[in-house]
Each structure stands twice: as structure tokens, then as C-alpha cells.
Amino acid sequence: DIPQALRHDTAPPVVDRAVTAAVNPAPFEAAWTATDGLASKPGAVQQTFLHPDAAAPSVIANVVRFDQSAVRVVYVPGLSEPGGTWAWGSQVPRDQRKTLVAAFNAGFKFKDTAGGVYTEGRNAVRPLQVGIASLVIGKDGKADVEAWPGDSALSSVASVRQNLSLIVDGGRPVDGLTSDKGLKWGTKKSQFQYTWRASVGVDAKGRLIYAAGSQMTMMQLATAMVDAGAVRAMELDIHDGVVTFNWYRQAPTTPLGVEGMKLTPSMQRKADRYLAPDQRDFFAIQAR
């Protein structure tokens, strides 16, 4: 199940390459290619796909990379996760879609993680917890992924969404992913089962990386992030019907103002998800 934009005989020129465990890579596998037709400047968004596990050739990670000098990240709270009343009304409002590039799922339900949320100047669910893996969005719209150091860092922060523990740190999968003795990444059932998974991280150049795939273990997801160049990464949400990544291309004469397209055809939710109020929180990517 490779990205829709790469399901053809031709593709945009290769920018550079990621790593893949495939013995005989498919065309364009692990090749970063520019994603055309978006509101962002050419080359600012790239995608590829790769095999993270030579022993499981059916497992494919679909990966997107964002140049954060050209895009900004916005955290959008959902109607029930975390709940409450927020500026964007749990969707990307019509007046924000003229620069909309993409949107993707956030983390676990808050009953299943010890983490919290900070956005729009206040906490939701619970205060932020030190050490929890966090996607941290600065007031400049640039995102980082880190183990939360404490609220002394909030002076320059717009939003923080916490979820579980880091799965990649120092450019490698963290210790314990194959045992999870401390239950840092959910229950052992969720840890080892083969299911849809998504992750977000940053590389050494500060680019934001998103990866998703079906029938993946936690270790396969972490390996995919490392192969894509991530130096730090956290898991987002898991399971069918939850993992969502949609592109949005400008269509100003249409009722929605944009046209959506799934990252991969087998993602279950509609391509216009996040253009109406959603129960779950998510991240929106806008062109600067």
C-alpha cells in the first residue's frame, strides 16, 4: 500500500534517499520525491515509502517530510479528545484552508496515556507531565519532538500534545521496545500486535517527519522513523480507522475550498476528514 502520488510509472525527481531493508527495492522506494500541487512552495514537502523489516516484506511505511521553514504546524483539539471549546472548533475552519497542506492524527485517547495538553494558553485534561513524549509547537509554528522537560519551557510554546514515551532518541530506537516492561508504550497487547500505527519525529535538520503503515509492530514503526532520518520520534495513535493522513489541494470555487486525498488508499477515513468538527484531536500543516 504505497502513497497514491507514487503509484505510477513516473514521479517527480528524486531529492535524496532514505534507508530501506528491502532486498529488491521497488521503483521510487526510499527516494524522497517532491509532492506537487500543494499550497507550500515547491519541494517543501516530500514523501517516500520503505520497508523497515527485511523479515516482514509485506510491511510498508509511508513517510512524509516537511521543511519547517516553509510550513507551520497547528494543534487542533477534538470535540471529545481532549474536549472543551477552542478557536478552530475541532476542524480546519474555512478561512484557514487557503494555506492548508495536510492534516494527520494525534495521539492515544487521554484515558490511555498519562500525558496532557497545553494550547491556547491553558491546559486540557491534565497538566503536562515531565518526561512524556511530546510534540511541542513553538510560537513560530515550528514543531519539535522531545521528552517534556518541564513547564519552564512554556514561554516560547504555542501547543504541546503529549503521548506515551519516545520511541526514537539519539537517532535509534529506544531500549525496551521489544519488552515494554514498564508499559511505557501502552499495554503489551497494543505494543506487540500487528496494526495500523503512526509516528511523528524530527530529523537532524529540523524537518518534521510523519510515518504510518498497517500491520506494524512498535519496533517496525521506530525502525521506519530511523530509516527516514528521525533523531527523535513518538508514536501517535494506532488501529484501523484512527490513523489518518490527508493532503489538501486548493479548490477555492468548491464548497470546502480544498480537495482532499488520502496518503494511501487503505486509510479508512474519508479524505475530507478534519474539514468538519472531529471527535479526535489532530495536527494541521499550513504553508507559511
- Segment 104-156, tens digit of pLDDT: 999 999 999 999 999 999 999 999 999 999 999 999 999 999 999 999 889 99
pLDDT of res. 242: 95
Which of these ranges, 19-28, 45-54, 172-181, has the smallest mean pLDDT? 19-28
What's the pLDDT tens digit per position in 27-75?
778 899 998 889 999 999 999 999 999 999 999 999 999 999 999 999 9
Please report the beta strands in the chain, taking only residues with DSSP state E, as ranges in sequence order.
Answer: 14-17, 31-34, 45-50, 61-66, 71-76, 100-105, 117-119, 122-124, 133-138, 143-147, 157-162, 166-169, 172-173, 195-203, 208-216, 230-238, 245-250, 258-262, 282-287
pLDDT of res. 153: 87
Which of these ranges, 182-186, 265-269, 281-285, has the smallest mean pLDDT? 182-186
CB 281 within 8 A of CB 108: no
**Cell numbers linked to 6:** 507514487
**Mean pLDDT across the chain, nearest whole number?**
92
- Band (191; pLDDT cuts 50, 70, 90): low
pLDDT of res. 8: 46
pLDDT of res. 12: 55
- Band (11; pLDDT cuts 50, 70, 90): low
pLDDT of res. 126: 97
Residue with cell 502513497: 3
**Cell numbers linked to 224:** 521506519
Non-local CB neighbours of 194 within 8 Å, separated by 6+ positions:
215, 216, 217
What's the pLDDT tens digit per position in 74-84?
999 999 999 99
Please report the beta strands in 51-116, taking only residues with DSSP state E, as ranges in sequence order.
Answer: 61-66, 71-76, 100-105
pLDDT of res. 28: 79
